[in-house]
Structures are given as C-alpha cells and as structure tokens.
Chains A and B, each alone.
Chain A
Amino acid sequence: MKKAVFLLPVFFAIAAPTFAALGAAEESVGADEQKFLPTQTTMSERGAYRLHEMTRGDGSVVREYVNGQGKVFGVSWKGPVLPDLSQLLGAHFAAFRDNAHQKAGRRRMAIVHSGDLVVESAGHPRAFFGRAYLNSMLPAGVTQETVQ
C-alpha cells in the first residue's frame, strides 16, 4: 500500500493526459473530452450519480456516469461514427477487443461479458450506439439500464 501511494502521483503526472474513463477517476472525463472534441458539454447531478454529456456537431453523443466515490462506472455512445473505444474503455479496452470480433461473425455486433465488465457495441455505418459499465461500481439503487 505505501508503495502504491508513493507511486500514484508520479504515475498520474506522466499518464494523466491519456488516462481513460471507464473505472477511472472523474478527472479522466477531461482526457476523453480532449480526444472526442465536443462542441458542447454538460454536467448534471442525478441523485446517486453525476452525468457528463459531450455532444458534437455531427450528432455524436458520449455520456459518462460517475458514482459517489468519484469513479466512472459507465459510458455510452451514439452517433454516425464510433468514438475511440480504447480511450473510453481505458484499462478495460483489451478485454473488449480480445472478445469483440471473431471470424464466425465478422463485422457483427459485439457483446462482451468479461468478469465485472459489460460492453455492448451495436449499429451500422451512420448509426452506431453502445455502452459499457462495471457491475461492481454501480451505485446502490442504480441499474444497468441507467447507462444508455
């Protein structure tokens, strides 16, 4: 523990600009914004969680859901193109990528259940949508259906 406490500030100093959202601290939403380049951002308190919403002129929307511990427990996306999922899923991207596509179903939808992680990516060119969440981080009284 002591080592981790000592190392964390150093790690953040180096990696903060690219540190991504899902499962990470709320500050990481800023890094996602830098990548997504929204034309409008909003933040709203929703009782058990806080919602960050980024909107772009092409109609793309990314939402990030933050729990009472200040951690991003869910992200969702919708729009004509996919957002950078490696950015949005962060440390959980590898688990998604490794399970998302397979030759039995090339170019199909992707639904990944990997331990605590659920990722659903759907749609087609011009109309993609999807979401990802961490079951263990859902605030009390908040269901998976909140992440939309």
Chain B
Amino acid sequence: MRRVRWARSAAAAAAIALAIGLAGCGGGDGSSSSSESSTTTPPPVNNVQPITVDAGPASLPAADANVDVAFTTVIVCVPGTSTCQSIDHVIVDTGSTGLRLLGSVLTLNLPASTTSTGAPLGNCVQYADNTYQWGPVAAADIKLAGEVASSVPIQIAGASGFPPAPSACSAGGTPADTVIDLGANGLLGVGLFRQDCGSACTSAATNPGLYFGCGPFGCSATTVSLSQQLRNPVWMFPQDNNGLMISLPAVGANGQATVAGNMYFGIGTQSNNVVSSAAKAQASDDYGNFTTTYNGVAYDQSFIDSGSNGLYFLTTTQTGLPDCGVQAPGFYCPTSPASFSAINSGPNPSGSGPTVSENVAFSVANALTLFNSPFTAFNNLAGENAGAFDWGLPFFFGRPVFIGIESQVSAVGVGPYWAY
C-alpha cells in the first residue's frame, strides 16, 4: 500500500535551485518550477496571524470546554466583494486541508458550488473517532492576517436545508457540525497538502468518495476536478504560499490558563519565517505520515497534527502507562509524570542526503489531574493511539514547527515536509 517517494529526488533538487530566485512567486498554480516570470516581487504583506489556546467559543458551555486546542479568527467574504464576516474560534488543524465553517455560525450567503452536471456539491471529512463533517461546498475569499485567498471552495458543515450525509460519509458515525460537538465555530485545515483529496478524487477508478452530487433522491459520490476541491488557503495566497510556521510559547508542567501564539505564512519568504539552521527538515510520505521509532520499533504511520488535542501514542501495554478509566477512557493517567523520548525520521526534503532524524523528548502527566485543572494548555496531555504516534498540540509548545506544502518549494526542500 505504501508508496515510496524517491522518484522526485532529482526534480526536487532542480526545483530548489530554481526556487532560490523565485521565492514569493507561484501563487497556487503550482507552476513555480516551469515559471520564467520576471514580474516584480509583490510588496510584503502582514503574514502574522494570531493563535489562541483557550476554552473555545463563548457560546460553548463550560462543561464542554476544550483543552489543548488552538484557535484563530478567520475573515470570509463573498468572493470579490467587501461583504465579509469575521468568525472567531476556528481550529488551526495541520491534520486536514481546507476551511470548514459551521452552517449555524456562517451568516454570509456564499455562492454554492455544483457538479459538472449542475447538482449541488457536497463534501465530507471523517475523523478516526468515527465523527464526520458534511455539508455543501461554497466559494469564499479567505482573509488571514494581510493575506487573501480568493474564491476558495470551503465546506459549510451542517448547513440547514442540505440533504443528510450519505452513509459513505457518516460511516455509521456521528456528525461534528454543531458548536458543542465540534467545540469550535469551524476548522481551518492548513496541513501538508494542496487539496483535501487531491488527484484521487479526479478519477472514478481511484475516487475515495469525499464529494457528492446531490439531488431529490439523495447524494451520490462524484469525481471532482482539483479546482473544485477544498484547498489549503495558504497555498492560494499570491505570496507566502509555500507553507507556514506555527509558533506557540513553551508552557510549564502544570499547564497554563491560555496561550497566545502566531502562524507565520510562507517559509523563507520574509525575515520572520526563516527556517533556522538548527532545525531538522523531514519529508512526509504521500499520506502525510512519517516514521516514529520508540523502544526500537518503527511506527511508519505517525504524524504531526495541531488538531489533535494531546500526544496520542501506542497502548497501555506498550507504554506501561495506566488508562484513566471510565472518567477519561483512552487517556493516560500515571500517578506521577513519566518521561519518554522517541525518534522522528524521514527523507531529506531537499531530495538528497541521508535520512533526517530528530529525538523528541516529552512528558506524560495524569490526564484527569489536567482535566480537573482550570487551565486549557498542557504540554503533557497524552492518550492511546494503537500503532502510531500522533504528535498533537502539546508537540507545538515551545517548538516552532514549519509545514511545507506539497510540491511547494523553499530553501529546505520540496513539500510535503515538516521542519522543527
């Protein structure tokens, strides 16, 4: 099943050589490697978008408060107009792609997307806990800091009046399309990929079925072009579009009430988003995964995900950590904090040289103790995840993390890659 991505190595090296003179050009069309553009570099724009880690939207009851979730405020506009809405508490999610806003929150009347035959277009995203988000696709201008992504397909999750989720989307699970169920007003997918699905959804033979054409008899899976798909808004910016960096300050062992940090758009495109020489850059595979090695065992379906609210890794048997039991099943509850380290590794995104490895040390505290604290930001909240490491938001505290978008180029290489 797993494809090795070495074929691109030579192309990557060539593209990097080109990119050194082209940083800031491109802009969502992916043509940076073939461009001979001599157009003037656009003037720098504000590329700093604030992030907050807190309990969540004001409308969220205290009993449903979040821990270890990073939020930002997104401005969406009817394309090409100044008719806009500012939506706070949108989750910053490096584990998915595209903007998803709750229909109950969005008040703008955005132009709906349709299939090639004119049927309303529906989109689906699933999560591992068998929750899902479902709703129509519509176009919006997305404004983050001084950056604008124009006329981008987004999902309106749980939009009223739209047909119910087809069973291929719900997969038996439950929707996360209310503020209480999502814990947020929306979700901003700024991960490793350009589209939520990519080329798989353009062909019937490989279509996993994330898009549906809807009619009076319900919704059925359809293929869609790349341009019809939800897209990483960072990739759509006219500049600073090769990736982003998330920077959250360190928090202490007892956590912190709230945390303020930033997203910096672009990698090496401005003075504030340069990858330090000490940082290790590691390519991910075509699925967004890399290898984490723990106790001599390699887990090759591991990933970094700001949208996961803990460090989820292995099982009680493998870690020796006790489960929290009925009050918080699946979370770890050691009697005293436990120290761990694991090694993340992946190919050099420059396309040459040996595998790049980085040792990551972390601590696991008693999750029930953390949940009973009034704080919302912890670097030591952890739980089970059979067969892999999911480096969630705690990984980001005190560690600037760069996300290189697929096929986009920076001084460290070609995406998809992580650098930290």
Contacts and interface: CB of A to CB of B under 8 A. Distances in A.
Contacts of A16: none
Given A83-B171, A122-B388, A129-B301, A107 B287 contact: no
Nearest to A123: B128
A124 B130 contact: no
Interface in B279-301: 287-289, 301
B1 A121 contact: no
B146 interface: no
B386 A111 contact: yes
Main secondary structure of the interface of A (DSSP, over half): mixed
Interface string B333-357: 0000000000000000000000000
B420 interface: no
A126 B229 CA distance: 14
A94 to B, nearest CB: 10
Contacts of B388: 122-123
B67 interface: yes
A121 B331 contact: no
B206 interface: yes
Interface residues of B, number: 63
B126 A81 contact: yes
A145 to B, nearest CB: 10
Contacts of B63: 103
Given A104-B371, A121-B128, A125-B126, A58 B209 contact: yes
* B287, B288, B305 — most chain A CB neighbours (10 Å): B287
Contacts of A59: 1, 200, 206, 208
A78 interface: yes
A127 to B, nearest CB: 4
Contacts of A80: 197, 200, 208, 287
Contact of A57 (B168, B206, B331, B387): B206
Contacts, number: 170
Interface residues of A, number: 45
Nearest to B392: A108
A121 B129 contact: yes
A112 B383 CA distance: 12
Nearest to B210: A81
Interface stretch (A22-30, A64-72, A84-92): A84-92
A84 B128 contact: no
A88 B168 CA distance: 13
B115 to A, nearest CB: 19
B185 interface: no
A84 B171 contact: yes
B128 A124 contact: yes
Nearest to B61: A103
B309 A108 contact: yes
* B126, B129, B198 — most chain A CB neighbours (10 Å): B129
Interface in B109-153: 125-131
A108 B208 CA distance: 21
Interface of B: 1, 63-64, 66-67, 95-97, 125-131, 167-168, 171-174, 176, 180-183, 193, 196-198, 200, 205-210, 287-289, 301, 303, 305, 307-310, 312, 315, 328-331, 367, 371, 383-388, 390, 392
10 contacts: A79-B208, A82-B128, A85-B130, A87-B172, A104-B331, A110-B330, A111-B384, A111-B386, A124-B96, A126-B287
Given A81-B208, A106-B129, A121-B128, 9 more contacts: A84-B167, A86-B171, A86-B172, A97-B172, A105-B331, A107-B131, A109-B390, A110-B128, A123-B301
Closest 7 CB pairs of A and B: A86-B172, A127-B287, A120-B386, A58-B208, A101-B129, A80-B208, A107-B127
